[in-house]
Each structure stands twice: as structure tokens, then as C-alpha cells.
Structure 1
């Protein structure tokens, strides 16, 4: 969970950096998501040059509202994707100069090929990262020293977040809202945007796969059933039996459909449910653990720490304080 301080006297300033060749769809995602939290965020768009004109990868150009000076007081900077043909390991000087204006400690988020910009600027050195799965090999050739995980929708490494292609820009922006203001606020934003507040699995489910045989069973109904019974142990054999498959076939189909294993998926869902209960209830940690299917409070603490880097008590304290201050 990112540790971002929200100043009471002004909204959190999100600056979207539009580079030449920018994809218009992703360029608009931050404004669409963050402005759905009234009063919490100010979203502005800037170019790296003073004339503020940016060529998109479509058949039009845009004139954004700000030049690179907008980066000087950004709290969060978002770099949307731009045309792969314009990406080089050595950034144009104007881009380097613009990125140099970002204050230390500012949260930086990339969408899709935006990760190439962060990598070329050295901002991903020593950090885990992701980008669109189809560009993973290209990324590794350009930046072989970086640790890339092409299987996930986004990577949160504290003050630097990277995400996969297109719709994962919505995922990472909702994740930022969730980290800043809690799942209830993020869920509300997701409903307004008519998107799921939390997508299952990772990018592997979107990689081109052979089409299953007509009439082949899937695991969707079992996933719904599992979410209704998270308080139970839910062994692989029981999940497979519910789906009418052998454990081996079920595990393979589950991986194909969600991009992750049944065990890892269950942990993700249990952590997600636990976060909601920690935010919205006063249940003791051990009771929260039991409600979501972790055997003990210690198990919940370990999984929450691994997922977002904080203890249940600290997570609850953070969002109770925000709620008391009117932040969510």
C-alpha cells in the first residue's frame, strides 16, 4: 500500500505526462477515475514542451493544459503509453528534463509502454515491474538488468507502480484510489465507471491460447461458489469436484482462464475480502481471519504483509483515520 500523505488544504495533485505518440484512451483514464472521488484529487495533463501540443498515435493531435512545469508540484505522476515505434533506450532530452522535475518521493505510475520510459530514465532500477505481455521480450532485450513480471496486471512497489496494457490502466488507478481511500470508495468509483473493482488473475489469461473444444467445461461457476464459501478451507479436490473435473484438469483450466493457480487465486480473494472487513468493521483480527478462510490471525498477518506491506492493525488504523478525517 502506497504511503501517500494527503494535505488537508488542497487535493492530491495527479499530473498525467503526455508524450508524443500517446494513446488517447489511456491518456484519459486517470481523469476519468480520480475525478470520481470528489475533492480528493486534482488531475492535470502536461506536455514536455512549452507549446503543450502532443501528437497522439491516432489521426489527431491534442493541446494539453500545462507544460512541464506542472510536474514541479505533482504528488502523483502518471505516464500513459505511447507508440512503440517511438520508444528508444535513450530518452529525448526534453523528456529527461521533464522527468528531472519530479520531486523525490513522488508516486510514479506507468501504463503499458509507459514502463519503457521509466526504465530508460533509471526509475525502475532495482524494482519489480510489468508491461503489456506482448512487449515483454522487447522490454527484456532493451533492459535486461530489470526484473519484469509479464503475468500480472500491475506491480505496486510503493512509490513506483507499473501496469500492463489498456484496461489495466483502470486497474492500477482504482488500486491507487483503494490504497489512498479504501475499498468502499474504490468500489464506488468502479460502479460509476461500469468496470469491476478488482479483476481476477493476471495477464496470462489474455495471451493468445488455443480455443477450447466446443462444450468444454469452465471454472467460472466454481469461482463464484468459492467466493461464497471463502470461510472454508476449499482444497483443490473439492473445487475440482464442484466443477466436475479431475484436480489436474481443473488446475490447468483454472490457470488458462484466470492466469493464476487456484491456490494463489484463493489467497488473493481472501486478502481482498479481509481488507474490506478491516476497513468496514470492528471485528477482531482473528475473527476477520476466520471469516475469510485463513486458519489464524497470524496467517492473515503474513498474507497481508506479503500483499501490501502492512499489518492488519496498521491497515485498519490508516483507513479509520481517513474516514474520521472525511477521506473516505
Structure 2
């Protein structure tokens, strides 16, 4: 454990762990601990022995590329995480690192995040976790989960602030040219409809929606496009597409609006109408809820600079 002047952080080099994240975190945290304003040092070690009893003050499960750890490897890493937590360590995960963390049972009944593309598999494997995949980072005190592959920068800064203070965190962010401001995965999570589910009538409705989304769309019209009775359509659409029809339509319309905000100079009012919303105020509220930014904030952040 840490002495009065040193904090030990273990970076778990489990199978498939992304080396870029492991080494990047090591560089960031060690640099922060070496700043003049830092009252204590950070000793960052790469942990590879998951059967040992070495105890850290914080442990980090990095993202992984390719297949996630399974079987004995998953059991070994999750058991190590549980022992570290029981010994008083702050436990953190990034992206797919949430899987061995959830396997340990430490996320049961808690809010947590992972990469948005992994959210369906995570939710199926660990239904007892309150998954919020739109969040980039969730700090739950003794457990911190971060979302995307590059969210290790956000987690690193959070740990620097936790252990060394806000002033050192801001100085570290300036040194590494990292934006310390709040971000969320929903800014980057573009709606990608599932068209490979194999339910032909539902696929017909999805194709119909791609052409008719700006119109006054109703469930009866969607069911007719699918050739199904309305109650059957509602059940099968959600099972196949992963959304209720109304939610799917909202996601599709907002995705189209995002494209227009990025690629055109049209007014937000006209983009709302093009997407199927006559009530511009309602469109703004829906866009904010789904994306996490207002339409004007989204355009400012993501539209290319125009000369």
C-alpha cells in the first residue's frame, strides 16, 4: 500500500489488453506525479501476476483489442480485481475492461459504463449492472468505469485529480494537450440500425422508414409497411431492431439531423423540419436527450471549419 509520499497504481496487462492504453496511462500518471506541484508521487506498475497477493492503491483494467478474456483468464483477472478491492484499492475499468470488473461482482446494482459498441453484449452478460453506455466516465467512489477506447485519458486525469489535486490535474492536461472538460460517449455514438437480424417483415419496415422518416409516421403505417398486424409488429420490431418503433424513429431522425448539422449551413429550424419535427423546441429537447449536446453545441463541436 501507499506510504505517505507514494501511491501505487497497478495497470492490469491481462490477455488482449491494449498496450497503447497501458503505456499511455503509465506515461500520463508518472508525469503527473513528477510535477513540482504534486505533493506525492505516483508509482505506476504493469501488473501481470494475477495469482499473487501484491496490493495496490488503485488498479486499472485497460481496454482490449480483439477478443475479450474468457474462461480461466477472465476468472483469474476478476478474482484479482475482487481481492484488490477487498484490500482497499480503487478499482477502475476502461472500455472492455468493464467485463472482468463486472465478472467480479463489484458492479452488481451499480451504475457503470463501457464502450457503446459493447453495450448490448455487456447488458446481456451482466443484467444486474445498471449500464449507462452513453456516459463516458462514471465515478462511483471506490469504482470508476470509463467508456471508449481513448477514455483512458479521461480516467487518467480523474485519478490525478483524486490523488494529487485539481491544480496538478489541470497542469497535466495542459502538458498533454488534453481537454479536461466533460464529454460523453453519446457525442460520438452514431445510430447504426441492425439490419442483420433476419426478420424480413421488420426489415421491410426499416427500409420503409429510411425513405419516409420525415413524414407523419405512425405505428399503423409502419406495421402496414411490414405486412404485420399492429400488436405482432410491435413485439417483433423491438425484438429484432432493439428499439421500440417510436424510439427507432427518433434515433433515425436525430441521426439524419446530425449529418445535416455537420455538413450544411442550414438553420437548425429548417433541419428540424427536414427531420420530421414541426415543433422546433421539441426537436431541440429530443436532440439534447439523445446526443447530450444541443444542436448548436453539436454543430460548433463537429462541423468542419469553413473559410
Q: TM-score with structure 1 length normalisation?
A: 0.57
What does residue 11 of structure 1 align with? 6
Q: Structure 2 residue aligned with 1:36, among 31, 53, 58?
A: 31
Aligned residues: 211
Could you say what secondary structure the match of 1:85 adopts? coil
Distance 1:250 1:161, change over 3 A: same
Equivalent pair of 1:218/1:253 in contact (CA under 8 Å): no
What does residue 128 of structure 2 align with? 145
Q: CA deviation at 1:100?
A: 5.2
What does residue 145 of structure 2 align with? 162
1:188 aligns with 2:155: no
What does residue 212 of structure 1 align with? 259
Rg larger in 1 or in 2? Answer: 2
What does residue 201 of structure 2 align with? none
Distance 1:218 1:129, change over 3 A: farther
Q: What are the equivalent positions in structure 2 for 1:49-60 lying under 5 Å apart?
A: none
Q: CA deviation at 1:83?
A: 3.9
> Deviation digits for residues 115-151 of structure 1, max 9, x if unmatched?
0001112121222111001111100111112111111
What does residue 70 of structure 2 align with? 88
What does residue 81 of structure 2 align with? 99
Equivalent pair of 1:17/1:79 in contact (CA under 8 Å): yes
Equivalent pair of 2:111/2:138 in contact (CA under 8 Å): yes
Could you say what secondary structure the match of 2:159 adopts? helix
Distance 1:26 1:131, change over 3 A: same
Distance in 1 of aligned mates of 2:121 and 2:173: 32
> Deviation digits for residues 23-82 of structure 1, max 9, x if unmatched?
122222321221122242110001136xxxxxxxxxxxxxxxxxx54x622000011122
- Unpaired runs of 5+ residues, structure 1, are 50-67, 220-244, 266-328
Equivalent pair of 2:9/2:57 in contact (CA under 8 Å): yes
Q: What are the equivalent positions in structure 2 for 1:138-287 lying under 5 Å apart?
A: 138-200=121-183, 202-208=184-190, 209-210=255-256, 212-213=259-260, 214-216=263-265, 246-254=280-288, 259-260=291-292
Distance in 2 of aligned mates of 1:261 and 1:149: 17
Could you say what secondary structure the match of 2:21 adopts? helix
What does residue 56 of structure 1 align with? none
> Deviation digits for residues 163-218 of structure 1, max 9, x if unmatched?
10122111122112223333221111111111101233x11111124452232468
Equivalent pair of 2:59/2:89 in contact (CA under 8 Å): yes
Distance 1:250 1:6, change over 3 A: farther
- Unpaired runs of 5+ residues, structure 2, are 35-39, 191-254, 269-278, 298-307
1:77 aligns with 2:124: no
Q: Superposition RMSD on alpha carbons, in Å?
A: 2.9
When structure 1 is superposed on structure 2, of 165-174 and 132-141 the one drifting more is 165-174
Distance 1:153 1:184, change over 3 A: same
Higher helix share: 2
Show structure 1 runs of 4+ deviating over 6 A. none
Distance in 2 of aligned mates of 1:218 and 1:35: 47
Q: CA deviation at 1:6?
A: 6.6
Equivalent pair of 1:19/1:48 in contact (CA under 8 Å): no
Q: What are the equivalent positions in structure 2 for 1:114-125 lying under 5 Å apart?
A: 114-125=97-108
